[in-house]
């Protein structure tokens, strides 16, 4: 590796991407399923804006830090393509919309939520 690559973190070797067990949240009817499933198992919704740099950074950090052993269901909501689902998520779980945003659903209600940098400060293990 050259001095420039070492200095700026470049590498000729491709970096392996970490793949999370995302479930796509694309319909309003899924919210009832999430609510019902949350009575047995914690449900996490990650609302992401694909056009927002802050959202992209929060997502990258979330993926990097995510504990693959968490016993939760993890949902990904592209709020630009599924704005109606995003709006209904806020109504159903009584959480004001922000982006990016994470919601922790247990027993049919949002027990915690965070946005922006607060997403990665959240201790998800506490809610599992």
**At 16, is the pLDDT very low, low, confident or very high (cuts 50, 70, 90)?**
low
Cα–Cα dist 99/47, whole Å: 6
Going from N- to C-terminal start, the domains of the chain cover 21-127
**At 13, is the pLDDT very low, low, confident or very high (cuts 50, 70, 90)?**
very low
Closest listed residue to residue 33, CA positions, set 84, 81, 80, 89: 89
What is the value of pTM for the model shown? 0.85
Give the tens place of pLDDT for each residue, 44-93.
999 999 999 999 999 999 999 999 999 999 999 999 999 999 999 999 99
Domain 21-127 has CATH 3.40.30.10: yes
Q: Using DSSP bridges, classify how beta strands 73-78 and 101-106 pair: parallel, antiparallel or unpaired.
A: unpaired
Give the tens place of pLDDT for each residue, 18-41.
799 999 999 999 999 999 999 999
Q: Are 128 and 70 in contact (CB under 8 A)?
A: yes
């Amino acid at each position: 590796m050259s001095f420039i690559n070492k200095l700026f973190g470049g590498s000729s070797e491709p970096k392996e991407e970490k793949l999370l067990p995302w479930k796509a949240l694309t319909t309003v009817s899924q919210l009832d399923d999430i609510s019902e499933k949350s009575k047995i198992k914690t449900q996490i919704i990650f609302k992401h804006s694909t056009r927002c740099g802050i959202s992209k950074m929060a997502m990258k950090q979330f993926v990097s830090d995510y504990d693959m052993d968490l016993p939760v269901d993890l949902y990904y909501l592209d709020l630009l393509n599924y704005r109606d689902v995003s709006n209904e998520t806020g109504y159903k779980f009584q959480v004001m919309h922000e982006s990016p945003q994470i919601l922790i659903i247990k027993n049919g209600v949002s027990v915690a939520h965070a946005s922006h940098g607060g997403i990665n400060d959240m201790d998800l293990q506490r809610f599992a």
